[in-house]
Amino acid sequence: MEERKITLVDDEQTLEFYVLEETKLNGSDYLLVTDAEDEEEEADCYILKDMSREGEADALYEFVEDEAELEGLMKIFEELLDDVDIETKE
């Protein structure tokens, strides 16, 4: 699988993530990303929601923080990535 990397930039910092999977739910696009380059190492994962509007040059992503939304999306990503063990932190 081709490695995809995205860079998030705001006024204070620049963060780089590796895209593990993507899905669409209720008309919104979501990315499952990690901060680790190597799939074998333990890493933190995050779910990003595409908040950009059609026709915008740059994508706008937000971290998903709503517990119910996160739980539903984690189930979807676990099914899509059946060979990856995903655990949530409380």
Any domain includes 35: yes
Query: What is the reported pLDDT for 2?
Result: 60
On the question of pLDDT at 24 being above 80, the answer is yes
Helix (H), strand (E), coil (C) string for 34-88 = ECCCCCCCCCCEEEEEECCCCCCCCCCEEECCCHHHHHHHHHHHHHHCCCCCCCC
> Is residue 18 over pLDDT 80?
yes
Average pLDDT rounded to a whole number, residues 7-28: 90
Q: Does residue 88 fall inside a structural domain?
A: no
Q: Which domain holds residue 75?
A: 4-80
The string of pLDDT tens digits covering residues 43-69 is 788 999 999 888 777 889 999 999 999
Please check whether residue 86 lies inside any domain of the structure: no
89 located within any domain = no
Considering the domain boundaries, does residue 90 fall inside one?
Answer: no
What's the whole-model pTM score?
0.79
b/e burial code for range 18-37 (CB count within 10 A of at least 16 → b)? bebbeeeeeeeebbbbbeee
Residue 68: inside a domain: yes
* Residue 15 lies inside a defined structural domain of this protein: yes
Number of structural domains in the chain: 1
